Amino acid sequence: MSARQESTPVPGAEGRRSLGLVSDCGDCFGLCCVALPFAASSDFAVDKAAGTACAQLREDFRCGIHARLRESGFPGCTVFDCFGAGQKVSRHTFGGRDWRNHPDSARTMFEVFPVMLRLHELLWYATEASELPAAVPIRAELREICAELDRLSRAEAAELLALDVPALRERVNSFLLKAGELHRAGAPRKGRDHRGADLFGARLRRADLRGASLRGACLVAADLRGADLRFADLIGADLRDADLAGADLTDTVFLTRSQLAAARGDGRTRLPPALDRPAHWN
């Protein structure tokens, strides 16, 4: 699920926009609202099975409660980001044939969407990695990976469904890990390794986390007010309800819009130039 809205271009992310990695809900057939399942929780008010349209999805593929998603019990919709996979499947893979008017394509479309989502997510990270000044030693390999991922994302549905996505992710991740290490090495101090750490509710106010590896770390509800996260690797970190008020994330790597949207921040939170401040932050 996602908030059905028009996307604003992200400053400093020209390469990602040119690759179609910025979601445009107005050019999609509401695929995240149909193809993906969700369970009743603090993120979603009800259960919904994969392949079943959300009850709030209108005939024009827009969300009927977009302006009040959080108040209606659907904060999970507001933080979801498909990295442009929705419009790629809608307009390129299926050539503008929507699942309502072409029900014979619906099942395949819904199966392709999660594959495209993974490809676009990997392409987002690989593109960022290839642009890192510290990644010069592996830039050629990263650019080859970007070209491969871009080619795969333009393949026909049958080829997409035949992809070994876990194997692809493992191969790409090895280069992302190296790029993250090269970037972290630029920090003024050796950062700590918190990879995969359980930091749920951790008291990290004003903590010096420069150059830290927080890959896959659980930072749910963590107090990161005023923390220094420059040069940290945040790929896959769970920042739901983490307090980033006054934190410095200017030189973090692999931070995404959805991670920021799931966290809390304020006007003093410093962000990388390629990311906008979430609208719901104070």
List the chain domain ranges: 14-183, 190-282
9-18, 169-178, 259-268: least confidently modelled range: 9-18
- Tell me what pLDDT residue 280 has: 86
H-helix segments, the chain: 14-18, 75-79, 85-87, 106-131, 139-153, 157-161, 165-184, 257-262
Q: What average pLDDT does this structure show over 84-107?
A: 97
Q: Would you say the C-alpha torsion 93, 97, 100, 103 has a positive or negative sign?
A: negative
- Tell me what pLDDT residue 128 has: 95
User: Is the pLDDT score of 93 beyond 80?
Assistant: yes
Identify which of 116, 124, 122, 127 has the alpha carbon closest to the alpha carbon of residue 156: 116
User: Is the pLDDT score of 6 beyond 70?
Assistant: no
Residue 121 makes CB contacts below 8 A (sequence gap 6+) with 83, 85
- Tell me what pLDDT residue 215 has: 98
Task: Give bridge partners of residue 203 from the DSSP assignment.
Answer: 223
- Tell me what pLDDT residue 282 has: 73
Please compute, for residue 85, the number of CA atoms within 13 A of its CA located in the half-sphere on the CB side.
31
Integer-rounded Cα radius of gyration of the chain:
19
Determine the Cα–Cα distance for residues 1 and 185; give it in Å rounded to an integer: 37
Q: Which two tokens stand for residue 282?
A: 């104070």
- Tell me what pLDDT residue 16 has: 72
- Tell me what pLDDT residue 1 has: 39
Reported confidence tier of residue 15, pLDDT bands at 50, 70, 90? low
User: Is the pLDDT score of 167 beyond 90?
Assistant: yes
CATH topology of domain 190-282: Pectate Lyase C-like (2.160.20)
User: Is the pLDDT score of 10 beyond 50?
Assistant: no
User: Is the pLDDT score of 144 beyond 60?
Assistant: yes
- Tell me what pLDDT residue 5 has: 35
